[in-house]
Amino acid sequence: MTKNWLITGASSGLGRGLTERLLARGDAVVATLRKPGSLDDLKTQHGDRLKIVACDVTDADAIRAAVADAFAARERIDVVVSNAGYGLFGAAEELSDAQIERQIATNLTGSIQLIRAAVARLRLQGGGRIVQVSSEGGQISYPGFSVYHATKWGIEGFVEAVTQEVAAFGIDFVIVEPGPTRTNFGAGLDRAAPLDAYDGTPVRELRRTIDAGYFELADASKTVDAMLAAIDSPSPPFRVALGRSAYESVRTALAKRLAVLEPQKTVALSVMERA
C-alpha cells in the first residue's frame, strides 16, 4: 500500500535520497526546502506525487503553514520526517552568537516546532509516525561540535518525552542516528573563525581530520535503504544507529555511562528520606 510522506530538508543528502526512493516506489511526498529549484527534476519526473513547499525551519509560522499545506494536499500523511539540519564546527569560545542562534533555531527549535505542528494533525487523523533524523552525535560528543551536540541531545530528549505523551493517539516515533555518511554534510559545515589559543588542542586535530577527509564514511544509498526498512516496519526500534561509527561509538559511550553509574548506587539511595 502506498504512503503519503512529509519530509523537511529534502533538497540534498539523506532527505533527497529518501524522497527519490519513495517516489520511485510509488509513494507521494510533500517535500520542504529553503530554496526552490533543487527538486525540479523529480517534479518533472513524478508530477503530482511530489509537492514542493518552500519552508525555512527557523520560522515557526512557516513550519505551521507548510504542515497545513501538506495535510491539505493529501488525504492523509502517514509519515513525517524531520530531517532539516546542518553542522556547526568550532570550539565553544570561538563560535559567534549568530552561529549559535542559527544552529539551535534550525536543528532544535525547528524540529520541535515541526513535531508540535505534526502531532496536532496526526492526532486528529487517528495516528501516524514521526521520524527524527538525529545523529550519532545525539548520544556521543566530539570536541568542536558542542552546540551541534546540544541540539541533537536536546531533540532526542524532546522526542523521548513526546513519545510518551502521544502514544495513546496512535502516534509513534523513530530516531535515526547516522554516523559520518557520504553526503554534503561536510560541505555544508559552518565553521567558526579559529583562535590561535586552540592550536595543538583536540579541536584543531579534528579540524585537520575533517579537512583531510580521514573519516570512514557510510554509503548514503545504503543508509537511506536502512532508514526506509526501519520506518516501514510495523514495530521499528525507537533508535536506529546507522554506520560502524554510530554503532561502535554509541555502544562504547553507553557502556562507559553504566560503568560510572553502577558504583554510585549506595550513595544515590542514601539521600532518600526513607532507606
Chain segment 84-127, per-residue pLDDT in tens: 999 999 999 999 999 999 999 999 999 999 999 999 999 999 99
Q: Per-residue pLDDT tens for 39-69?
A: 999 999 999 999 999 999 999 999 999 999 9
Give a yes or no: residue 260 inside a domain. no
Burial class (CB in 10 A: 0-12, 13-18, 19+), 28: buried
Is 148 catalytic? The answer is: yes
Give a yes or no: residue 65 inside a domain. yes
In the block, residue with C-alpha cell 544507529: 241
Q: Which of 111, 134, 146, 245 is catalytic?
A: 134
- In this prediction, residue 173 carries a pLDDT of 98
Give a yes or no: residue 28 inside a domain. yes
The answer to whether 171 and 123 have CB atoms below 8 angstroms apart is yes
User: Which cell numbers in the block locate residue 111?
Assistant: 524540529
For residues 233-241, average pLDDT: 96
195 φ/ψ angles, rounded to the nearest 5 degrees: -100, 140
How far apart are alpha carbons 141 and 23 in whole angstroms? 35
In this predicted structure, the answer to whether residue 216 has a pLDDT above a threshold of 80 is no
Long-range contacts, stretch 141-146, CB < 8 angstroms, 24+ apart = 142/206, 143/91, 143/201, 143/202, 143/203, 143/206, 144/89, 144/90, 144/91, 144/202, 144/203, 144/206, 144/207, 145/87, 145/88, 145/89, 146/91, 146/92, 146/95
- In this prediction, residue 75 carries a pLDDT of 85
Is 96 catalytic? The answer is: no
User: Partners of 52 in the beta sheet?
Assistant: 31
Give a yes or no: residue 253 inside a domain. no
Tell me how many domains the chain contains: 1
Give a yes or no: residue 249 inside a domain. no
Give a yes or no: residue 275 inside a domain. no
Q: Which of 148, 198, 245, 249 is catalytic?
A: 148
Q: Per-residue pLDDT tens for 170-189?
A: 999 999 999 888 876 766 78
Give a yes or no: residue 259 inside a domain. no
Q: Which of 82, 152, 245, 249 is catalytic?
A: 152
Supply the range of the domain harboring residue 155.
4-244
Beta carbons within 8 Å of 35's beta carbon, 6+ residues apart? 11, 54
Is 86 catalytic? The answer is: no
User: Which cell numbers in the block locate residue 82?
Assistant: 524531520
DSSP, res 218: B
In the block, residue with C-alpha cell 549568530: 98
pLDDT band of 17, cuts 50, 70, 90: very high
Give a yes or no: residue 274 inside a domain. no
Please tell me which residue, 197 or 181, carries the higher pLDDT value.
Answer: 197
60 φ/ψ angles, rounded to the nearest 5 degrees: -60, -40
Residue 189 sits in a domain whose CATH number is 3.40.50.720
Calculate ∠ Cα 112-71-240, nearest 5°: 45
The alpha carbon of 177 is separated from its chain's Cα centroid by a whole number of angstroms, namely: 7
In this predicted structure, the answer to whether residue 214 has a pLDDT above a threshold of 80 is no
Provide the mean pLDDT of the chain: 94
